[in-house]
Amino acid sequence: MVSVLACREGSAWVVQAIEQDVAAQGVSVLGALANLGRMFDERDAILAAETNVASIPPAPKEYAQAFREGHCVGVLPLGAVRVAQVYIGISPFAREEDRRKSS
């Protein structure tokens, strides 16, 4: 299972995988999740064909923190073979923007 933070960044929804630094965006949460699922499926195809592919590090710690502080939406399909535990949270970029405005 992949842990995914869903959040608004500007006018788009962004979904960020936590265990691996892979993200996608869309006009809706489900659209962004579908895009993320396609990215994981494409990565799987590349990994199956290539032997020298570098591993992907985890997401930045700010996204992991926002995931932990978010609210669980549920477990949803993520591409052809994965499921995602999806949490709605506040984007680290939005938090930083709010901090700047209040300073």
pTM score of the predicted model: 0.88
Reduced to 3 states (helix: H, G, I; strand: E, B; else coil), residue 11 is coil
Alpha-carbon distance of 39 to 23, in angstroms, equals 9
pLDDT of residue 98: 65
CB 91 within 8 A of CB 9: yes
51 pLDDT higher than 70 = yes
Alpha-carbon distance of 91 to 29, in angstroms, equals 14
pLDDT of residue 72: 98
pLDDT of residue 94: 77
Alpha-carbon distance of 91 to 66, in angstroms, equals 7
93 pLDDT higher than 90 = no
